[in-house]
Amino acid sequence: MEIREFQRLIERIYFEKDRARGLEAGFRWFVEEVGELARALRERDRERQAEEFADVLAWLSTMASICGVELEQAVRKYAKGCPKCGETPCRCE
């Protein structure tokens, strides 16, 4: 699945509800999911890690949609390597 496709899917599933909830509330949900991911990483629970990575990505996607940001365009920042040094892998000190 392409990033654009994922963002559209999350919009179809959740956008109306998330937009009504508002960006601030959505951000709090996002932070909560990041916390759940942190616990799964700390516990080395691979199955939960995958689930929590998906949840974090979904909340990031819905916040981008609320803000009118296309994630597929936003990630182009990294298309030519590190945004600071331009290298892959990064050679920044």
Is 41 within a domain?
yes
**Looking at the 3D structure of the chain, how many domains does it have?**
1
Structure tokens at 1: 């699945």
> Would residue 50 count as lying in a domain?
yes
| pTM of model > 0.85 | yes
Rounded to whole angstroms, the Cα distance separating 55 from 88 reads 28
Contact (CB, 8 A) for 64 and 72: no
pLDDT digits (tens, 9 = 90+) for 27-51: 999 999 999 999 999 999 999 999 9
Question: CA separation (Å) from 90 to 3, 69, 79?
Answer: 23, 26, 13
65 in Cβ contact with 36 (< 8 Å): no
User: The domain that contains 55 carries what CATH number?
Assistant: 1.10.287.1080
Q: What is the pLDDT of residues 54-74, one digit of tens each?
A: 999 999 999 999 999 999 999
